[in-house]
Amino acid sequence: MTDISDANRSGFSIGSAMIGGAIWLAILVAALFGAPAIGPIELLLMLGILVFIPLAIDLLAVSDREGGNPLPYRIARLLQPIAAVPACVSFFLPAGTPAGILASAWLLLTGIIALFGMLRLIRGERRLEELCINAALLYLPIGGVWLVAARLGISLAGFGGVIALLTAVHFHFAGFIAPMLAGMTGRRLAAIGAPMKLLYRIAACGIIAGPPLVALGITFSGPLEVVAAVVLATSMTMHGFLVLVPVRRSLPGTRPAMFLGISATASVLAMLFAAQYAVGVFMQGPRLTIPQMALVHGSCNAIFALGGLLGWGFVRPRSVHIKRDA
């Protein structure tokens, strides 16, 4: 039995995303005029917290086999806007204990989201497309940990400051949004019986493995970082092809096809920039600076996330355990 209707479920999370988007736009306009002094990395992370996470939560409504929403999901949906506010306020404080405490609200939320992912695993959501979604749910708290570390002003594994913030962004986008959208793609491919199963398996496995491999490479090994960046870029390019060709052709209406097409194109561009940057660092060759990467790669990631979440929001693919889309 469902706890509330589909309309109410969508209304709450989408309403949170819309209010969050308005707040983010106000912050962006103020930042463009120099008050407050918020950088592109902080703006990108706030965009994920205020807009992308509630849209992703909405996509997972009625995701279990009985057609209802487990308790961790319901708690996460309700707490998301409550946790987002102090997390964003923390960016307006200097790094230290008060800012870290405020950011901890978001870490708590990501922990509840991970609990939902663990519950899905226990309950048998183990098809590859569902494993993509489970990986997204389990990776998100890693981003929460790095966010708290950055706001506390402490180092983890020898990394702090801007690198800590970039790691938080990495696990919110490459770690959460990318596998979440790959899971939605897999659900749609399963529903329409598309023949490109092998290509999807390769892409999905690379998207699942890529985020932790990139993080491990940055921490321990330059060659591993390059390999991981290339694997993730290649996997995202394969995923983009699947979205642009078999998925878009199967979609009802022009709006989801348009948004998903924009998302897939932006994801390929974002990964090409990331791979070029990783190779440039390793080979000590020409590359974008960190602020330039935050602006260019971050903008592509934002378009990828927004387009994908909006596009799949029109289609709302369900797990094959519940219902196959026509």
Is residue 64 pLDDT above 60, yes or no? Answer: no
Q: What is the pLDDT of residue 242?
A: 96
pLDDT tens by residue, 105-141: 999 999 999 999 999 999 877 799 999 999 999 999 9
Q: What is the pLDDT of residue 5?
A: 41
Q: What is the pLDDT of residue 12?
A: 87
Domain boundaries, the chain: 6-315
Q: What is the pLDDT of residue 220?
A: 81
Provide the whole-model pTM.
Answer: 0.89
Q: What is the pLDDT of residue 160?
A: 86
pLDDT bin (cut points 50, 70, 90) of residue 326 is very low
- pLDDT, greater one: 97 or 326: 97
Three-class secondary structure assignment of the chain: CCCCCHHHHHHHHHHHHHHHHHHHHHHHHHHHCCCCCCCHHHHHHHHHHHHHHHHHHHHCCCCCCCCCCCHHHHHHHHHHHHHHHHHHHHHHCCCCHHHHHHHHHHHHHHHHHHHHHHHHHHCCCCCHHHHHHHHHHHHHHHHHHHHHHHHHCCCECCECHHHHHHHHHHHHHHHHHHHHHHHHHHHHHHHHCCCCHHHHHHHHHHHHHHHHHHHHHHHHCHHHHHHHHHHHHHHHHHHHHHHHHHHHHHCCCHHHHHHHHHHHHHHHHHHHHHHHHHHHHHHCCCCCCHHHHHHHHHHHHHHHHHHHHHHHHHHCCCCCCCCCCC
Is residue 153 pLDDT above 50, yes or no? Answer: yes
Q: What is the pLDDT of residue 17?
A: 96
- pLDDT, greater one: 226 or 56: 56
Q: What is the pLDDT of residue 6?
A: 43
Is residue 98 pLDDT above 90, yes or no? Answer: yes
Is residue 3 pLDDT above 70, yes or no? Answer: no
Which residue pairs from 264-267 have beta carbons closer than 8 angstroms and sit at least 24 positions apart in sequence?
A: 264/239, 264/240, 264/304, 264/307, 264/308, 265/240, 266/300, 266/301, 266/303, 266/304, 266/307, 267/178, 267/236, 267/239, 267/240, 267/300, 267/301, 267/304, 267/308
Of all residues in the chain, what percent carry a pLDDT higher than 90? 63
> What is the rounded average pLDDT of the residues 8-31?
88
pLDDT tens by residue, 248-265: 989 988 999 999 999 999
Is residue 163 pLDDT above 80, yes or no? Answer: yes
Name which of 48-52, 80-84, 157-161, 171-175 the model is least confident about.
Answer: 157-161
Which residue pairs from 72-75 have beta carbons closer than 8 angstroms and sit at least 24 positions apart in sequence?
A: 72/112, 72/113, 72/115, 72/116, 72/119, 73/116, 74/3, 75/112
Distance CA 138, CA 156 (A): 19
Residue 137: C-alpha distances to residues 53, 102, 173, 195 (Å): 11, 22, 12, 28
Distance CA 83, CA 109 (A): 7
pLDDT bin (cut points 50, 70, 90) of residue 49 is very high
Q: What is the mean pLDDT of the chain?
A: 87
Is residue 4 pLDDT above 50, yes or no? Answer: no
Is residue 228 pLDDT above 80, yes or no? Answer: yes
Is residue 272 pLDDT above 50, yes or no? Answer: yes
Is residue 188 pLDDT above 90, yes or no? Answer: yes
Name which of 38-52, 135-149, 189-203, 310-324 the model is least confident about.
Answer: 310-324
pLDDT bin (cut points 50, 70, 90) of residue 18 is very high
